[in-house]
Amino acid sequence: MSIYLKHFGLTKEPFSIVPDPGFLYPSNHHRQAVAHLKYGLDREGGFILLTGEVGTGKTTLTRTMLKRLPAHVRVAYVLNSKLEIGDVLASICHELGIDLPDSPGLSFSKICIDSLNQDLLQAHAEGKKTLIVIEEAQNLTAEVLEALRLLSNLETQTHKLLHILLVGQPELLETLAQKGLRQLNQRVISRFHLLPLEKDELSNYVNHRLHRAGAKSPLFDRNCMAVLFRLTGGVPRLINLVCQHSLLAAYAAGTQRVTPKLIKQAAKEILGSQNTEQKISRWWLLAIPILGAAIWLGYNIQWSMLQVTKQSVNTQLSELASEAQGGGEQFEAGMPLALGEKSGLGRGSQVAEGSLSAEGFLSAEGSLPAEGSLPAEGSLPAEGSQFSVNPFAGLFALWSVAESQIFSEQEFVSRAAFYGLRAEVIDGAEIADLEKINRPGILWLQEPTGYLKSYLLTRADGQILILAQGGKELQLNHQEFAQYWSGRFIYLWQPPESVQTLKLGDRDPQAIAWLQDKLLAIDPTTEPLITGGRYTQATVEQVLNFQRQQNIKADGVVGRETLMRINQLTNTELPLLLQEQN
């Protein structure tokens, strides 16, 4: 390990431009891209497009997707796109492990296509899918693209045999828009254009990479993020380059923190002085009239509005100093959040988007509240404990999912979907709502300093709620809990693959059959119905009867609450909150 990494307490380089799937930050755009890619792979063959500007993370996203593909999907990964037709075909055959026979009198392309067709038929008979991935696809010639289109014609009587993923820059879209390639363009079953990060995602992105690299505390001043976004436009590769050089500059200066000044200096080296100065000067051109207007308004504000007594000023300064000493600095994306009058948030208020990465997401360990505020009792075993120091990873553990530290709600939702789980978020909830949901989850309690701290609610036992955080166990009675809880709760549940929502008149034979089987398993006296695959009035009556018996909303619609209760009654392995129902 280099001295540079030891200086910041890192175990690996946090801002390497190598497309490492372990560092992928699941932004909104990346999650949508994954959904489009998955949709394309679930279809019966065809082309899938992933485009984006240079440095937006296309390759990292692609490799992450490939890493998580099921075992029955074979992949031919072609990195070099500046190839002739024969070379492309040979690369595909080589990646799939296809031996090419000697066939005098036949062209090389013919040999490749025939061998590939035989291999695909064999793989299809074995229940396998085949995916061809071509990077830098904007470099492909029209002739090569046409050859790929012909490959997509390989099929049985009922199934296409190939999925082809083209990953490239926006020029690829212009190429496919040409009249001569309209047949290929019409065979694109899924496409997505990846955009740079949004401004409010930048802090989470930087902290995500630092956390993955082993950081235990913040390394960038909060004011750095606005400067960093202004200079990079949210392009991940530029962000990585600037952040890396900023850390090197901080190391050279012997400091532990990166300041906006170091960000600007690094950007000048990476992006060029002219580009940086133009952006900064443009900002000042906008700032000057704004400052002028502010000064003019200041002189015209009524004098009575400016009368503040010296005693009042001293009181406010004392409060601020007290908060600064008691609160400490949080490792989070946004500013510290507090509940109550000072923060402007009361019980049940929704915490601002992007601010949910409070210390529980990024810090390696969290401290329990000070003595006399939240009473802590007991601790979980250090070895073999299912509860991680990270509440989100601990919640996954309850669902038998092994995950490393997770530091943002966005990443948690994304990872849950990957495992077939669904994350639900409610605000302004009451304890009765938690008991009705009956699933463990993540919630936030107000610390004595005013900060929100994330905890894993593991179970409820009578009037006692049991939480975990940082390997510690915390027990609170209902009154104590209600005093500190923010009212926000995130939990997981597992929706059936074949069922979404059913309402009167819907036609879904698979979902109706699933519902009938489950109702019969819960109550063997349930009368089987002939529905023709439709959600009929007779089925509605059965569901209404079930909902009334379970004391849930009786509307005859099979929605989230009804599906969760069916799961609870038919799956003994589900993690539940109430002990008497476990």
C-alpha 582/C-alpha 579 separation (Å) is 5
Asked whether the predicted pLDDT for residue 280 surpasses 80, the reply is no
| Averaged pLDDT, 14-42 | 81
Q: What is the pLDDT of residue 290?
A: 53
pLDDT band of residue 272 (cuts 50, 70, 90) is low
Written as six digits, the tokens of 205 are: 């992105």
Q: What is the pLDDT of residue 26?
A: 75
| Averaged pLDDT, 70-78 | 89
Asked whether the predicted pLDDT for residue 510 surpasses 80, the reply is yes
Of the candidates 465, 447, 448, 464, which has an alpha carbon nearest to the alpha carbon of residue 456?
465
3-state secondary structure of 462: coil
C-alpha 137/C-alpha 184 separation (Å) is 14
pLDDT tens for 518-539 read: 898 998 888 888 888 888 999 9
pLDDT band of residue 405 (cuts 50, 70, 90) is low
Q: What is the pLDDT of residue 409?
A: 76
Domains located in the chain, CATH noted? 3-18+199-271 (1.10.8.60), 28-194 (3.40.50.300), 359-493 (3.90.70.10), 509-581 (1.10.101.10)
Asked whether the predicted pLDDT for residue 341 surpasses 60, the reply is no
| Averaged pLDDT, 282-304 | 48
Percent of the chain with pLDDT over 90: 24
pLDDT band of residue 292 (cuts 50, 70, 90) is low
Percent of the chain with pLDDT over 70: 78
pLDDT tens for 128-167 read: 889 999 999 999 999 999 889 888 888 777 778 889 999 9
Output 185 or 354, whichever has higher pLDDT.
185
pLDDT band of residue 548 (cuts 50, 70, 90) is very high
pLDDT band of residue 371 (cuts 50, 70, 90) is very low
Q: What is the pLDDT of residue 189?
A: 87
H or E segment and range at residue 326: helix 310-327
Asked whether the predicted pLDDT for residue 460 surpasses 70, the reply is yes
pLDDT band of residue 207 (cuts 50, 70, 90) is confident
Buried (b) or exposed (e) across 147-184, using 16+ Cβ within 10 A?
bbbebbebbeeeebbbbbbbbbbeebeebbeeeeeeeb
Q: What is the pLDDT of residue 508?
A: 84
Asked whether the predicted pLDDT for residue 226 surpasses 50, the reply is yes
Read out DSSP for 317-354?
HHHHHHHHHHH----SSSS----BTTTTB-TTPPPPTT
| Averaged pLDDT, 234-239 | 92
3-state secondary structure of 14: coil
Written as six digits, the tokens of 554 are: 């009786």
| Averaged pLDDT, 458-468 | 90
Q: Using alpha carbons only, what angle is made at residue 486 by residues 324 and 214, rounded to the nearest 5 degrees?
A: 60
Enter the pTM of the model.
0.51
Q: What is the pLDDT of residue 579?
A: 66
| Averaged pLDDT, 385-400 | 76
C-alpha 38/C-alpha 34 separation (Å) is 6
Asked whether the predicted pLDDT for residue 21 surpasses 90, the reply is no
Under 8 Å between Cβ of 531 and 507: no
- Residue 444 is given by DSSP the state E
Asked whether the predicted pLDDT for residue 490 surpasses 50, the reply is yes
| Averaged pLDDT, 560-572 | 89
C-alpha 454/C-alpha 458 separation (Å) is 13
Distances 149 to 77, 140, 233 between C-alpha atoms, Å: 17, 12, 36
* Mean model confidence pLDDT for the chain: 77
Longest alpha-carbon distance in the chain? 99
Q: What is the pLDDT of residue 580?
A: 59
Q: What is the pLDDT of residue 291?
A: 52
Output 433 or 452, whichever has higher pLDDT.
433
Asked whether the predicted pLDDT for residue 346 surpasses 60, the reply is no
Q: What is the pLDDT of residue 222?
A: 81
Asked whether the predicted pLDDT for residue 385 surpasses 60, the reply is no
Q: Return all residues near 290 (Cβ < 8 A) that are at least 6 apart.
A: none
C-alpha 253/C-alpha 125 separation (Å) is 63
Q: What is the pLDDT of residue 530?
A: 80
| Averaged pLDDT, 339-345 | 28
pLDDT band of residue 467 (cuts 50, 70, 90) is very high
| Averaged pLDDT, 441-449 | 85
- Residue 191 is given by DSSP the state E
Q: What is the pLDDT of residue 370?
A: 35
Q: What is the pLDDT of residue 20?
A: 85
